[in-house]
Structure formats: structure tokens, C-alpha cells
Amino acid sequence: VTALAAALPGIDVRAWPDTGEPAAVEYASLWGDAAGDMRRFANLKVLFSLGAGVEHILGNPLRPPDVPVVRLIDPAHRTGMIEYVLMRVLHYHRRMPEYAAQQAQGIWRERSQCAPGDRRVGIMGMGELGTGCAEILVRLGFDVAGWSRSPPTIVGVTGFAGRDALAAFLARTEILVNLLPLTPETVGILDAGTLAMLQKNACLINVGRGRHLVEGDLLAALDSGHLAGATLDVFCTEPLQKDHPFWTHPKVTVTPHIAAMTLLQSAVPAIAENVRRHRAGEPMVGVVDPARGY
């Protein structure tokens, strides 16, 4: 609140629930459903998400339907996501889980290693974040494919578009990165059927949303030996429940939703700039199409 107030001189910035007169609230920045029934803010002009995802706003039945929803496009968030995805793609590409198992047994054995050009990485979701990850992976020489609703057109990335192309996309993928937005079409998209389409010994990096993944189906695919590993940063329930099998599964790496961090010093200017644009009648950055969901 302090940082936003400093970035928006002349504007009264308050933290919920201390919002004062509801009719005086013009802009809301929110995460989760903390604010409950948003319709009581009768003069709300914009709903800003405090994250890259907006499903928490669009999925709220008490949302005023005609108020524009804007997602956060934060350079630090993008940087963090690229770091995390790159780190884990390299971890699987360079067979680090196998070397860790060897170390635990005191085994010195070189494993065969393919060049990056022979390693097929598949990225689901080619928006701001997926494109950023694809670009750096291409630069490092990986064989990268992207799957999205409309055909991705990034130099060096093999594009797959729409449900009809999903099977072909998965069939070529050894390391799968999920960066889809969560929409009614993508909930549960990573289930037994789609995971079975991946290459044998494929690995999954889920940095989208927990609800993209049917968690029990992933456990079954890991236990059957079809998938070799999974790095999960997002979960159906967060924090991940104390007794969830992911915590102790030898093929699963759990991180507590930290892949991309929202930093005050980059998120606040992004929101402040959109407030300025809105008040000046200029187009805002990151306006969401509610029908599409992202």
C-alpha cells in the first residue's frame, strides 16, 4: 500500500477491508477472493490481478461483470519464471536425478548425453512467459515446440495449435513445461490420457496452475515408470497438504509456488502505469478477454 501510494500521488490507496466508502473505490488490486463480493463497489473501474493469472477474479461469481480485468505483466515475474524453467529443463536434460541417485550409492559412471539439438522440449502456453522460456531454450540449442490456442510464431520453435494438434505435440515431447492460463478449457488438461501421450521417460515441469494437473494421474504415471520425473511449483491446494504423497515421492520435486516471484519494485510501477493510462484514457497493458479467460 505504501509503495503504491508513493507511485500514485494524489490517489488515496487503502488496504482491504479498510476501504472506506465503497462507492469511492475506483481501482482494486487483488489476489485470491479476499475481497468477496466486489459488486458493492458500485463505481469500480478496473480490477487488477496481483499475479499473471486472473482465474481467481474471473471465477468469482460475485465479480461485477462489466469491469475490465487486467493481469499483472511484471518484468521480475517473467525473469523468475525463465530462470526456474531453464534450471529444471537443464536438470532433466543433464540427467541430474540419475547422477544424484548414483552419488547416493557412491557410483562413478558417465551416462550417455545427447546434445541440446536432440532434446525435445515442449511448452504448453505461448504467452508472455512461455515465449520468454522458448526464446532462451532455442538460444541454447534445444529442439523446442510450443502448443497454444493460436499457432505460436517464434523463430526456431515448432508450433502446434489447438486440441487437434495436442497428441502430436505431446508425442514428440521429452520435457514438458506447462505455462497455460487456467480456463474452463484447460482445467485438468494434464490427465492420464494426455500424460500417456508423452514420450516414455518424459519429465513434467508444472509452473502453470495446480488445477491443470490431475494429481493422482501424475502419481500413477510416475509409479508405472512411464514418466521419469516431475517438478511441481503449483498445486490444487496451496500450501500443499501435509500428508500429500508429492512431498515424499522420489521422482517429484516440490517448490512452494516460487517459480516466478512478484517483486514490489517491478509490480508496483506496472500497476501504477496502468492506473495512469486508464485516467488518461490510454489503453492499459494486460487487459484480459473474459470469454477467452486470459
Nearer to a copy of itself, 126 or 240 (CB): 240
3-state secondary structure of 147: strand
The single residue of 95, 257, 276, 277 carrying the catalytic annotation is 257
Q: 3-state SS of 30-60?
A: ECCCCCCCHHHCCCCCEEEECCCCCHHHHCC
| Cα–Cα separations (whole angstroms), residue 4 to 59, 110, 223, 285 | 26, 53, 48, 17
Nearer to a copy of itself, 113 or 153 (CB): 113
Shortest spacing between CB 203 and a copy of itself, in angstroms: 14
Got the DSSP string for 196-222?
HHSPTTEEEEE-S-GGGB-HHHHHHHH
Residue with cell 524453467: 85
Cβ-based neighbours of 148, under 8 Å, separated by 6 or more: 124, 125, 126, 127, 130, 159, 160, 161
Distance CA 56, CA 49 (A): 8
The single residue of 88, 91, 119, 209 carrying the catalytic annotation is 209
- Cα–chain center distance at 228: 22
Shortest spacing between CB 108 and a copy of itself, in angstroms: 4
Is-catalytic flag, 209?
Answer: yes
Shortest spacing between CB 128 and a copy of itself, in angstroms: 17
Nearer to a copy of itself, 37 or 118 (CB): 118
Phi, psi of 231 (to 5 degrees): -115, 120
Shortest spacing between CB 229 and a copy of itself, in angstroms: 14
Nearer to a copy of itself, 249 or 276 (CB): 249
Nearer to a copy of itself, 200 or 242 (CB): 242
Interface positions with a copy of itself (CB under 8 A):
76, 79-80, 82-84, 86-87, 90-91, 93-94, 96, 99-100, 102-103, 106, 108-111, 113, 115-116, 136, 140-141, 238-240, 242, 247-248, 253-258, 261, 263
Is-catalytic flag, 257?
Answer: yes
Shortest spacing between CB 254 and a copy of itself, in angstroms: 5
Annotated catalytic residues are: 209, 257
